[in-house]
């Protein structure tokens, strides 16, 4: 797979455009390296479908499956089973004072502690997590990460409000 010399310009102005261009170049570079890291060539899926089983009272996955319908008629199912949650709040995501990337001056620091699992997983600042997962694809078993930030109604999941939990 060849990386294009120039990527199409995003419609976002100013600094956003620079960030998008930087990450698009990184993604293209990493995708090219992927073919060197595995014996399986990259293939495109015709359709993608997914299933989520939620942990009761939360917006966190108990399990997550992705079905990839491949061009040759084969369907691959990737299964993810969360084992451990990492609170993105610790990196500033959704943090009320120390927002991710927020400028606090030349030298600023703070320290916070909270018990995990968190006592209020539906509290807005605890919604964004990354889960270390056991991953299965056919007879292959490994590890993966499932990033989760679920806000608002989602009929297939039974979510009716901004922050209601799974039954």
Two tokens, residue 106 = 């030349």
3-class secondary structure, 27: helix
Dihedral sign for Cα 47, 77, 35, 21, please: positive
pLDDT band at 4 (very low <50, low <70, confident <90, very high): very low
Q: What is the mean pLDDT of residues 149-166?
A: 94
- 58 pLDDT above the threshold of 90: yes
Share of the chain above pLDDT 70, in %: 76
Which are the contacts of 85, defined by CB distance < 8 A and separation ≥ 6?
A: 60, 116, 117, 129, 130, 131, 132
Two tokens, residue 102 = 């927020």
What gap in Å lies between CA 152 and CA 133, rounded to an integer?
24
State residue 45's pLDDT score. Answer: 86
Torsion of CA 157, 134, 149, 160, to 10 degrees: 10
- 31 pLDDT above the threshold of 70: no
pLDDT digits (tens, 9 = 90+) for 98-138: 887 788 888 888 888 888 889 999 999 999 999 999 999 99
The dihedral region occupied by 158, where left means phi > 0, alpha psi between -120 and 50, and beta the remainder, is left
State residue 9's pLDDT score. Answer: 45
Q: What is the mean pLDDT of residues 137-160?
A: 93
Average pLDDT, the chain: 82
pTM of the model: 0.72
- 2 pLDDT above the threshold of 50: no
| DSSP-assigned states of every residue in 80-144 | EEEEEEEEGGGGTTT-SSS-TT----SS--------SS-S-TTSGGG--EEEEEEEEETTEEEEE
Q: What is the mean pLDDT of residues 36-65?
A: 87
3-class secondary structure, 36: helix
């Amino acid at each position: 797979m060849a990386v294009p010399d120039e990527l199409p310009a995003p419609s976002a102005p100013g600094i956003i455009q620079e960030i998008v261009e930087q990450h698009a170049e990184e993604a293209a570079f990493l995708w090219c390296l992927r073919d060197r890291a595995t014996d399986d060539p990259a293939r495109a899926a015709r359709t993608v479908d997914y299933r989520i089983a939620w942990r009761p009272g939360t917006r966190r996955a108990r399990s997550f499956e992705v079905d990839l319908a491949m061009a040759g008629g084969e369907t691959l199912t990737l299964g993810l089973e969360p084992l451990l949650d990492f609170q993105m709040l610790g990196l500033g995501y959704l943090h009320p004072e120390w927002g991710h990337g927020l400028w606090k001056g030349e030298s600023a620091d703070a320290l916070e502690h909270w018990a995990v699992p968190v006592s209020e997983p539906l509290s807005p600042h605890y919604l964004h997590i990354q889960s270390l997962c056991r991953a299965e694809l056919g007879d292959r078993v490994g590890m993966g990460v499932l990033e989760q930030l679920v806000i608002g109604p989602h009929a297939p999941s039974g979510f009716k409000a901004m922050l209601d939990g799974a039954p």
